[in-house]
C-alpha cells in the first residue's frame, strides 16, 4: 500500500511539473526578497531549485544523525535474534535456566517479544517456577493483539500445574470464540477428564471426532466411559437426572449404565426412581448369565433389600417366571432374615446355594447354622465359601480419574 501511494504522488508531481513548465518558460517570473536593507532578486525556477537543495541538505543531515542509532538498533536486533535462537536450542535440550535467561533477554530487543516471553514461560514452568511463568505470559499478552496463543499456553500451564478448574474455564471461553481450534479442544478434553466434568466432555466429543482429534472408536469408547462415570459420581440429583434424560435408549440398556444410575439414584434419595428404572429394564432384559459384572438384577437385589417387605413381594412375583434364579432366592433369604423369620430365610438361602455359589449366601447359611447350634454344618458352609470366588452381588468400584 505504501509503494502504491508513493507511485501516485510521483505521478502527480510529474504531471504538475509538465503542466507548469511551459508557463514558467514563457514567463519565468522574478522573486524579490528584501531583508535588512538588502534586496535579493532571482528567478522563480532558481528559487525553487535552491529550496529543493535546502530540503535535500536537511534530510541528509538528519540521515547522518540517525545512522549511529540505526546501527545500534540493528546490532541489538541481531544480538536479540542470536539470544532467541540460542535460547530455543537450550530449551529443546532441556537446559531450562540458560534457556529462560536467554529468552527473557531476547525479548528486550526482539521485534516479536511475545514469542520470547512465551518460550521463557515454558522454560520457567519446566523448572516448576509457576509464578514466574505466569509473569512471562502476562508480558507476552501486552505485546500481542490477539491473545489466543498466550491463552492456550496459559491453559496448558494451568493443566500441568494442577489448576484444572481454571484451565477448563479458560478453554471454554476460548472455544466460544474459536469453536474449531484443535489445540484448545485437545486441552479441554484433558481438563474435563481431570476435573471429572463428564457431561462437558461428552458435549465436545462429536466436535473432537469431526476435527480428527479422535478416531470413531476412540470417541465411542470415551463417550461410554464418560457416561458411566457421570452416572456413577453425579454432583447431585439434578445432575444425575439430567444426564439420564440425555442418555440414548441404547446406552440406557447397557448393564453398567443402568446399574450405575440406580446405585447413584438410591444414594441421593431417589430410591423409587432407582427401583423403577431397574424393574423396567429387567422386564425387557432379564439376565441370562447371573455372574455378569454390573448385573442389573444384582443391583436390584442390593437396593430392594433396603425395604425387605417390598423385596419379598417383588421377588416372589418374579419367581413365578424365573424359578431357577439364585439371586431371587438369595434376596428372599436375606429379606426374611431382616424380617426376623429365620426358617424362611434358611429355606430360601439353601435354594440359592443349590443354584449357585454365592459367597454371601454360603456365609449367611454358616452364620444361621452356627446360631442354631450346628457348628459342623456351619463349618462346611465356611469351607465352601472359602473356595468360592464368585458373588452374585458384585461391589462396584469407581474408575480412576484417567478413565
Indicate whether 217 pLDDT > 50.
yes
In three-state secondary structure terms, 281 is helix
pLDDT digits (tens, 9 = 90+) for 108-125: 877 788 888 888 988 898
Q: Locate 280 and state its grid cell.
A: 423396567
| Domain shared by 172 and 206, yes or no | yes
Q: Is residue 108 part of a domain?
A: no
Tell me if 29 sits within 8 A of 41, measured CB to CB: no
Indicate whether 189 pLDDT > 80.
yes
End-to-end CA distance of the chain: give it in Å, rounded.
55
Q: Locate 365 and state its grid cell.
A: 447359611
Residue 42 phi, psi (nearest 5): -155, 155
Q: Locate 84 and state its grid cell.
A: 532467541
Q: Is residue 244 part of a domain?
A: no
What does 48-96 look like in DSSP terms, one character per residue? HHHHHHHHHHHHHHHHHHHHHHHHHHHHHHHHHHHHHHHHHHHHHHT-H
Q: Is residue 280 part of a domain?
A: yes
Indicate whether 104 pLDDT > 90.
no
Residue 34 phi, psi (nearest 5): -115, 125
| Domain shared by 180 and 307, yes or no | no
pLDDT digits (tens, 9 = 90+) for 139-151: 888 888 888 989 9
Closest C-alpha to 211, from 177, 171, 182, 172: 182
| Domain shared by 275 and 368, yes or no | yes
Closest C-alpha to 314, from 276, 346, 352: 276
**pTM of this prediction exceeds 0.85:** no
Tell me if 388 sits within 8 A of 364, measured CB to CB: no
pLDDT-above-70 percentage for the chain: 85
Q: The CATH number of the domain where 217 resides is what?
A: 1.25.40.10
Taking the C-alpha atoms of residue 100 and residue 332, their distance in angstroms, rounded to an integer, is 70
Strand partners, 32: 41
- Give the residue with greater pLDDT, 295 vs 35: 295
* pLDDT score of 391: 40
End-of-domain residue from the set 201, 233, 265 = 233
In three-state secondary structure terms, 398 is coil
* pLDDT score of 401: 35
- Give the residue with greater pLDDT, 368 vs 173: 173
| Domain shared by 185 and 309, yes or no | no
| Domain shared by 228 and 257, yes or no | no
Taking the C-alpha atoms of residue 96 and residue 88, their distance in angstroms, rounded to an integer, is 10
Closest C-alpha to 360, from 336, 331, 338: 331
Taking the C-alpha atoms of residue 288 and residue 137, their distance in angstroms, rounded to an integer, is 59
Q: Provide the number of structural domains found in the chain.
A: 2
| Domain shared by 183 and 312, yes or no | no
In three-state secondary structure terms, 30 is strand
Q: Show the domain range for 371.
A: 252-397
Tell me if 153 sits within 8 A of 137, measured CB to CB: yes
Q: Is residue 52 part of a domain?
A: no
Tell me if 187 sits within 8 A of 213, measured CB to CB: no
* pLDDT score of 400: 36
CB atoms within 10 A of CB 56: 10
| Domain shared by 224 and 336, yes or no | no
* pLDDT score of 394: 35
Taking the C-alpha atoms of residue 46 and residue 207, their distance in angstroms, rounded to an integer, is 74
| Domain shared by 227 and 289, yes or no | no
Strands 38-43 and 30-35: antiparallel
| Domain shared by 293 and 363, yes or no | yes
Q: Is residue 138 part of a domain?
A: no
Q: Is residue 260 part of a domain?
A: yes
Helices (H) and strands (E) in the chain, counts: 20, 2
Q: Is residue 80 part of a domain?
A: no
| Domain shared by 357 and 324, yes or no | yes
Q: Locate 285 and state its grid cell.
A: 432384559
The burial of 65, by beta-carbon neighbours within 10 Å (0-12 exposed, 13-18 middle, 19 or more buried), is given as exposed
DSSP label at residue 389: -
Closest C-alpha to 297, from 324, 258, 336, 323: 258
Tell me if 142 sits within 8 A of 150, measured CB to CB: no
Q: Is residue 109 part of a domain?
A: no
| Domain shared by 225 and 352, yes or no | no
Strongest mean pLDDT among 49-63, 222-236, 304-318, 373-387: 304-318
End-of-domain residue from the set 204, 233, 262 = 233
| Domain shared by 363 and 259, yes or no | yes
Taking the C-alpha atoms of residue 280 and residue 268, their distance in angstroms, rounded to an integer, is 20
Residue 35 phi, psi (nearest 5): -150, 115
Amino acid at each position: 500500500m505504501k509503494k502504491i501511494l508513493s507511485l501516485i504522488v510521483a505521478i502527480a508531481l510529474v504531471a504538475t511539473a509538465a503542466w507548469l513548465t511551459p508557463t514558467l518558460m514563457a514567463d519565468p517570473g522574478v522573486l524579490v526578497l528584501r531583508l535588512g536593507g538588502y534586496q535579493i532578486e532571482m528567478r522563480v525556477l532558481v528559487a525553487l531549485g535552491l529550496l529543493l537543495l535546502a530540503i535535500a541538505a536537511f534530510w541528509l543531515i538528519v540521515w547522518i544523525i540517525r545512522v549511529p542509532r540505526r546501527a545500534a538498533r540493528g546490532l541489538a536486533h541481531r544480538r536479540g535474534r542470536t539470544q532467541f535462537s540460542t535460547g530455543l536450542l537450550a530449551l529443546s535440550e532441556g537446559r531450562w535456566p540458560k534457556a529462560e535467561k536467554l529468552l527473557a533477554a531476547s525479548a528486550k530487543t526482539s521485534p516479536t517479544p511475545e514469542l520470547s516471553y512465551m518460550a521463557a514461560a515454558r522454560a520457567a514452568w519446566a523448572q516448576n517456577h509457576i509464578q514466574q511463568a505466569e509473569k512471562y505470559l502476562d508480558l507476552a499478552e501486552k505485546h500481542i493483539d490477539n491473545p489466543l496463543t498466550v491463552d492456550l499456553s496459559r491453559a496448558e500451564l494451568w493443566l500441568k500445574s494442577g489448576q484444572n478448574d481454571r484451565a477448563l474455564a479458560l478453554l471454554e471461553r476460548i472455544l466460544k470464540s474459536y469453536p474449531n481450534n484443535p489445540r484448545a479442544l485437545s486441552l479441554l478434553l484433558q481438563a474435563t477428564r481431570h476435573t471429572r466434568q463428564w457431561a462437558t466432555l461428552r458435549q465436545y466429543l462429536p466436535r473432537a471426532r469431526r476435527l480428527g482429534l479422535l478416531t470413531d472408536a476412540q470417541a465411542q469408547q470415551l463417550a461410554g466411559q464418560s457416561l458411566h462415570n457421570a452416572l456413577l459420581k453425579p454432583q447431585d440429583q439434578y445432575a444425575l437426572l439430567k444426564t439420564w434424560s440425555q442418555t440414548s435408549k441404547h446406552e440406557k440398556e447397557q448393564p453398567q449404565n443402568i446399574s450405575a444410575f440406580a446405585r447413584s439414584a438410591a444414594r441421593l434419595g431417589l430410591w423409587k426412581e432407582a427401583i423403577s428404572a431397574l424393574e423396567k429394564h429387567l422386564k425387557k432384559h432379564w439376565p441370562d448369565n447371573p455372574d455378569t459384572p454390573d448385573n442389573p438384577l444384582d443391583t436390584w437385589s442390593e437396593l430392594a433389600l433396603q425395604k425387605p417387605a417390598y423385596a419379598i413381594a417383588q421377588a416372589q412375583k418374579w419367581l413365578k417366571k424365573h424359578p431357577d434364579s439364585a439371586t431371587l432366592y438369595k434376596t428372599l433369604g436375606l429379606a426374611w432374615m431382616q424380617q426376623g423369620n429365620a426358617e424362611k430365610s434358611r429355606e430360601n438361602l439353601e435354594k440359592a446355594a443349590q443354584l449357585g455359589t454365592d459367597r454371601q449366601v454360603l456365609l449367611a447359611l454358616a452364620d444361621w447354622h452356627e446360631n442354631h447350634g450346628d457348628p459342623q454344618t456351619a463349618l462346611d458352609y465356611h469351607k465352601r465359601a472359602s473356595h468360592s470366588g464368585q458373588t452374585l452381588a458384585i461391589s462396584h468400584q469407581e474408575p480412576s480419574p484417567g478413565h
